[in-house]
Amino acid sequence: MAENNSADVKKLPFERAIEELESIVKRLEEGKVPLEESVAIYERGEALKKRCEELLRQAEARVERITLDADGKPTGSTPLDVD
């Protein structure tokens, strides 16, 4: 089941992942979640955090690949190998 959740997280867009992560943090901060469930949602939160970090790194790399002309104006971008 953990592998299935991990695969699910890897498909989430940034906005959905961060929204779910914020929801998990809120639930854990409230302290009303049973211990067993707390551990499970904490683990999912860690996977969501990693997904968000990965997507942010990819976006940052794409921005850094934008090419500029002599005046500093964007002229296009170079291909980004995201593997």
Q: What pLDDT tens digit does each residue of the chain (83 aa) get? A: 455 577 799 999 999 999 999 999 999 999 999 999 999 999 999 999 999 999 999 998 887 777 777 787 777 766 655 55
Q: Where are the beta strands (DSSP E) in the chain?
A: 66-68, 74-77
Q: What is the model's pLDDT at position 30?
A: 95
Q: What is the model's pLDDT at position 66?
A: 75
Q: What is the model's pLDDT at position 78?
A: 66
Q: What is the model's pLDDT at position 7?
A: 74
Q: What is the model's pLDDT at position 71?
A: 80
Decide if 82 is inside a domain.
no
Q: What residues form DSSP beta bridges with 34?
A: none
Residue 68: what are its φ and ψ, rounded to 5°?
-120, 150
Amino acid, res. 27? R
Give the tokens for residue 32. Answer: 């009303």
Range of the domain at 33: 2-77
Decide if 52 is inside a domain.
yes
| Direct distance between the N- and C-terminal alpha carbons of the chain, in angstroms, rounded to an integer | 25
Count of the separate structural domains present in the chain: 1
Look-up of token digits 């990693």: 50
